[in-house]
Amino acid sequence: MYKFAKETYKYAFNFGWEIMKQRYERLMEIRRLIGQSQISSQDELMRLLEKQGFELTQATLSRDLKYLKVAKMPDDRTGYVYVLPGKEQESRRADLATTADYGFVSIDFAQGLGIVKTLPGHAGSLAYTIDQLNAYEVAGTVAGDDTILIIPRDGVTRHDLVSLLQLKVPGLIFQPVH
């Protein structure tokens, strides 16, 4: 939804001399389409624009996207998606946990249990985060000061567990300091 209804924003770009009206309408439409749907290539976007009655080549689209500062980012669903400036964050918030500093140090396995090492004092909060995932794979956790014991359910492999954590706790493995 844009602030100006079509009728209105049509004139929002009247620079006094009928500049680039068509181009700006196209740019608006591009923003709308990208904000609304998961677009993963310029050709795909081009086809959508053509349906709307715009005529253009992919080369122009490349320039438009550059002008609009639209980024192309990897996406689990579609492979890659175009995202509007400022919207990148939102699209990453699907996961429960945020990219906070968990104090994670390492994970190891023994006796069918996962042993997570953390910085001193960080075990509790990371264990809590893991509990909050409510994941089937995790039967329960026990936290000390700098160590967490993860008890996997029967049949859950260490690999399943690592996958789960990597998927649901982004930033756990690669955690830069702010």
If one asks whether residue 11 binds a second copy (CB under 8 A), the answer comes out as: yes
Partner interacting with residue 11 (select from a second copy, DNA, none; CB below 5-8 Å by kind): a second copy
Residues 52 and 18 sit within 8 Å (Cβ to Cβ)? no
Partner interacting with residue 26 (select from DNA, a second copy, none; CB below 5-8 Å by kind): DNA
Site track 40-79 with a second copy (rule: CB under 8 A), x = hit: -------------------------xxxxxxxxxx----x
- Residue the block writes with tokens 């677009």: 39
If one asks whether residue 72 binds DNA (CB under 7 A), the answer comes out as: yes
Partner interacting with residue 60 (select from a second copy, DNA, none; CB below 5-8 Å by kind): DNA
**Angle at the Cα of 63 (from 37 to 91), degrees rounded to 5?**
30
Helix (H) or strand (E) holding 149: strand 147-152
* CA atoms 35, 41, 44, 50: torsion sign: positive
Site track 82-121 with a second copy (rule: CB under 8 A), x = hit: -xxxx-xx--x------x-x--xxxxxxx-----------
If one asks whether residue 148 binds a second copy (CB under 8 A), the answer comes out as: no
CA distance 82 to 33: 10
CA dihedral 155, 159, 162, 166 (to 10 degrees): -120
Site track 32-71 with DNA (rule: CB under 7 A), x = hit: --------xxxx-----------xxxxxx-xxxxx-----
Q: Three-state DSSP class for 63?
A: helix
Largest CA distance in the chain: 76
If one asks whether residue 1 binds DNA (CB under 7 A), the answer comes out as: no
* Span interacting with a second copy, options 6-14, 38-46, 47-55, 123-131, rule CB under 8 A: 6-14
> What angle do helix axes 58-67 and 21-36 make, rounded to 10 degrees?
80
Binding stretches for a second copy (CB under 8 A): 1-4, 8, 11-17, 24, 27-28, 31, 35, 65-74, 79-80, 83-86, 88-89, 92, 99, 101, 104-110, 158, 162, 170-171, 173-177
